[in-house]
Chain A
Amino acid sequence: MDSKPDSELESGQTTETGDTRRDVARKLGRFAAYAAPFTVLALSAKAGTSSGPGPHPRSR
Chain B
Amino acid sequence: MLLKSNSMCLTAILALALPALGVSSTVTGIEANSTCEVGTCTAGDLSAGALTYGGTTTGSYNFDVTLDGDLFDVSGTYNNTFLSGTFLGFYPTVTLVSGTNAATVTLDMLQDFFYGTDGSTTWAGTYNEKIPVDLSAAGTTATGQVLYSTDLDTTPQSVGLLPTADGPGDFYLSGSASLGPLDGDLLVSDFQYTFTFAKDSAPGTYISSPVPEPSQIFPLGIGFAALVLFNLRRFISRAIRP
Q: Which A residues lie at the B interface, using CB under 8 A? A: 31, 34-36, 38-43, 45-58
Contacts and interface: CB of A to CB of B under 8 A. Distances in A.
B164 to A, nearest CB: 16
A43 B219 CA distance: 11
11 contacts: A35-B225, A36-B221, A40-B221, A47-B130, A48-B91, A50-B146, A50-B189, A52-B87, A53-B123, A53-B126, A54-B83
A33 to B, nearest CB: 10
Interface of B: 53, 82-91, 113, 115-116, 120-133, 144, 146, 148, 159, 179, 183, 187, 189, 191, 193, 209-212, 214, 217-218, 220-222, 224-225, 228-229
B126 A57 contact: no
B102 to A, nearest CB: 24
A42 B122 contact: no
A57 to B, nearest CB: 6
B129 A50 contact: yes
B78 to A, nearest CB: 10
A47 B92 CA distance: 11
A35 B130 CA distance: 23
Contact of B221 (A42, A47, A55): A42
A11 to B, nearest CB: 27
